[in-house]
Amino acid sequence: MLEQLRLIDLQEVYDCFGGNVVVVRKTITRVNEHFPAQWQELLESIESQNTQQIDVLAHRLAGTLLMVGASGFSSYLRKMSHFARDGNVPTVEMMKDSERYYDTLIREMNLILTKLDDQH
């Protein structure tokens, strides 16, 4: 009856972090705090059609997402980064997809943190 995490591969995060829940928690907390602002920055650069900035920001966010096991979303942002590197501005469709990813990511990070808060 309970929902699976769809974006975040928590086991992968654990594997990378040597099974340390404290680092898992710290990392997700930090990403959860900073990601919205960075995302906003990316959206602004898209709005201003600054492809160089889009490339850098999308690439950086992709790296951040790998830290929390969201490899699918990361891959998506990498594509966006390459797209921008070729001088293209992400399309409306791309942004719609990425917003869906974003919402899911935030929700899943919150769920994990809530669960961790309950346990500790």
Partner 1 sequence: MYEKFKDLLEEDFGIVYISAMYNVLNLLFVMVLVPTQVKQSQWMVLVILSLLSLSLLGVPIAKFLSKQVFVLLAGVAAMFLWAIVSYFEQSAAFIVGMLLPFATLLNFRYKYKTGMFYILSGIFVQLALLASQVKLTTQDIALSCVLGLGCALYLLVDRYWREKIRRHTQEVKVISLEMEKAKAKIAAAEKGFEFFLGRFVLQFKEPVSVMMGINNILQFNDTNPMRLDFMRRQFLTGQYLLSEFDQLVTGITQHLPNTRILSEPFNLDEVLVVVENRLSLARNESDLQCEVIFNNNAKQIVLGDKFRLSQVMLSLIDVVIEEYDSLSELNITMSADSLKLGDHVELKVTIFHNGQREDEISNEKPDKLSTQYFEKMFESLGYDLNFATLMIEQMESTLSISHDDAQGTYYNFVLFMPVAEDFTETGVDLVDQDVQKNWYGELLDIRILVVDDNKEACFVIKELLELAGAIVNIEHTGDAAVKTVLEGETRFDCVIMDLQMPNMNGLEATKAIREKYSKFDLPIIGLSINGIENQLLACLDAGMNKFSIKPFNIIDFIDFFQNALKNSNNPINKKLSPLSDEEALRMIKLPDGYDVDLALANLGGDKELYRSILDATLDEWHINIHQLQSALKRNDIHYARHVLSRFANNALMVGAVELDNYLRQLIFSLSLRSLDQDNEDINVLSLSVEIEDQIWQSIRVLKSIADALKR
Nearer to partner 1, 42 or 62 (CB): 62
For every residue of 57-111, DSSP letters joined together read HHHHHHHHHHHTT-HHHHHHHHHHHHHHHTTPPPPHHHHHHHHHHHHHHHHHHHH
Q: How many residues bind partner 1 (CB under 8 A)?
A: 48
CB 93 within 8 A of CB 101: no
Q: Which stretch binds partner 1 (CB under 8 A): 43-51, 88-96, 110-118?
A: 110-118
Interface positions with partner 1 (CB under 8 A): 1-5, 10-23, 26-27, 30-31, 34, 56, 59-60, 62-64, 66-67, 69, 74, 78, 103, 106-107, 110-119
